[in-house]
Amino acid sequence: MMEKKLINEKLELLTKKLTELEAEIYQLVKTKYISYYPCLEASESLCQRVQDINNEIYSLEQKIKQESNLFSVNSEFCTLNQELVNSKQIFSGLQYLVEINDLLQTAKETTSDGSLTEAANALNKLESYFKNNLGQQKEKITILKTLEVNFKIQKATLETVVCTQWSDSIKWISSSDSEFKVLTLSIATDRNLKDVVHGLQACHILERHMKKFAENFQKLVLPLVLEEPELAIESKSASSSRELRLKTPNSKKGSVDCVGEEQMYKTVFANLLLVLEHLNSMLLKIDFQQKDELQQGSGQTLMNWLGEEVASSFLDSLKQTVLAKAIPSNIKDLDGFRSVIDATQILQDKLLTLGFLQLDDQSLMTYVQNINMLFANKKSQTIIEKARDLMTSNLFESLAVNDTRPLSELPPLSSGPLKAIVPENVLSENTFKMPKCNISQNIDTLVQLAYETMCEATGSEECAIQMFYSVRSMFEMFCHVVPTHHAHSLKTVPQLAALHHNNCMYIAHHLMTMGHQFAPKLPRDYSVTFVDLIQQIRKNGIDVMIAQVQRQKDLLMEYLDGSEGFSNLETESNIEKAKKSVGQVVFQLEHLKKIWKPVLPINNYKKALGQLIKSVVTRVVDSVIALEDIAQDASQRILELLTSLEKVCGECLTSPGEVASVELTRHCLSWPRFTELKLVLNSSLTDIADRWAEGKGPLASAFTAMELKKLIRALFQNTERRGNLLALIK
CA dihedral (300, 303, 306, 310) positive or negative = negative
The DSSP code for 263 is G
Q: Is 170 in contact with 186 (CB distance < 8 Å)?
A: yes
Distance CA 368, CA 346 (A): 13
pLDDT digits (tens, 9 = 90+) for 220-262: 999 999 988 889 999 988 778 899 999 998 876 544 454 566 6
The Cα–Cα gap between 324 and 133 comes to 61
Q: Tell me which DSSP letter residue 181 carries.
A: E
* pLDDT computed for residue 156 by the predictor: 78
Strands 180-188 and 232-237: unpaired
CA distance 584 to 560: 8
Question: 692 with 639: CB under 8 angstroms?
Answer: no
pLDDT in tens, 394-421: 999 999 987 655 554 555 555 556 555 6
Confidence of residue 549 (pLDDT cuts 50, 70, 90): very high
| Measured torsion, CA atoms of residues 505, 507, 509, 512, in degrees rounded to the nearest 10 | -130
Output the pLDDT for position 412.
56
Mean pLDDT along residues 687-709: 92
> In this model, does residue 294 exceed pLDDT 60?
no
Mean of per-residue pLDDT scores for the chain: 81
Task: Using DSSP, state whether 438 is helix, strand or coil.
Answer: strand
Lowest mean pLDDT among 178-187, 425-434, 531-540, 547-556: 425-434
Lowest mean pLDDT among 331-340, 531-540, 570-579, 596-605: 331-340
Pick the CATH number of 592-728 from 3.30.365.10, 1.20.1250.20, 1.10.357.150, 1.10.10.10: 1.10.357.150
pLDDT of residue 229: 85
Q: In terms of pLDDT, which residue wins out, 88 or 629?
A: 629
For residue 402, the cross-strand partners are 405
| Better-scored residue on pLDDT, 459 or 308 | 308
| Calpha distance 566→645 (Å, rounded) | 14
Starting at the earlier edge strand, list the strands of the sheet with 180-188. Answer: 170-176, 180-188, 241-249, 232-237
Quick one: average pLDDT of 600-623?
95
Residue 24's contacts (CB-CB under 8 Å, 6 or more residues apart) are: 42, 46, 49
* Selected residue with higher pLDDT from 24 and 109: 109
**Mode of pairing for the β-strands spanning 232-237 and 241-249:** antiparallel
Range in 17-26, 231-240, 354-363, 663-672 with the lowest mean pLDDT:
17-26
Q: How confident is the model at residue 38 (pLDDT cuts 50, 70, 90)?
A: very low
Contacts of 235 (CB under 8 A, 6+ apart): 242, 243, 244, 245, 278, 282
The phi and psi torsions of 639 (rounded to 5 degrees) equal -60, -40
* Least confidently predicted of 140-149, 578-587, 627-636, 655-664: 140-149
Kindly report the pTM of this predicted structure: 0.69
Residues across the chain: 730
Measure the CA dihedral 202/203/205/209, to 10°: -70
First to last CA, the chain: 164
Residue spans of alpha helices (H) in 75-140: 75-113, 116-132, 137-140
Domain-wise residue ranges, the chain: 2-161, 177-369, 376-408+432-546, 592-728
Q: Interior CA angle at 61 toward 57 and 63, to 5°?
A: 120
Which residues touch 705 (CB under 8 Å, ≥6 apart)? 695, 729, 730
Q: In Å, how far from its chain's centre is CA 353?
A: 34
Measure the CA–CA gap between 579 and 563, rounded to whole angstroms.
8
Which residues on neighbouring strands pair with residue 243, listed in sequence order?
186, 236
Cα–Cα distance measured from residue 162 to residue 197, given in angstroms and rounded to the nearest whole number: 8
Q: What is the DSSP letter of 421?
A: -
14-28, 153-167, 171-185, 613-627: segment of lowest average pLDDT: 14-28
Picking from 86-95, 664-673, 716-725, which range would have the lowest pLDDT averaged per residue?
Answer: 86-95
pLDDT band of 72, cuts 50, 70, 90? very low
Q: Is 289 left (phi over 0), alpha (psi -120 to 50) or beta?
A: beta
The CA distance from 231 to 264, in Å, is: 12
Q: CB-based burial of residue 593 (10 Å sphere; 0-12 exposed, 13-18 middle, 19+ buried)?
A: middle
Selected residue with higher pLDDT from 300 and 147: 300
Cβ-contact 260, 188 below 8 angstroms = no
- How confident is residue 343, by pLDDT bands cut at 50, 70 and 90? very high
- Helices 660-667, 632-653: axis angle to 10 degrees equals 90
Rounded distance, CA 706 to CA 699, Å?
12
User: What integer is the mean pLDDT of 43-64?
Assistant: 55
Instruction: Look at residues 238, 250, 235, 225 and name the one whose alpha carbon lies nearest to residue 184.
Output: 235
| Mean local confidence (pLDDT), 487-492 | 95
> 569: pLDDT confidence band, cut at 50, 70 and 90?
confident
Distance CA 3, CA 66 (A): 11
pLDDT tens per residue across span 147-183: 677 777 777 777 788 888 888 889 999 988 878 899 9
SS3 letters for 648-716? Answer: HHHHHHCCCCCCHHHHHHHHCCCHHHHHHHHHHHCCCHHHHHHHHHHHCCHHHHHCCHHHHHHHHHHHC
Mean pLDDT for the stretch of residues 86-114: 61
208 vs 1 pLDDT, higher one? 208
Task: Specify the 3-state DSSP secondary structure of 401.
Answer: strand
Nearest Cα to Cα of residue 153 among 24, 28, 36, 23? 36
Confidence of residue 22 (pLDDT cuts 50, 70, 90): low
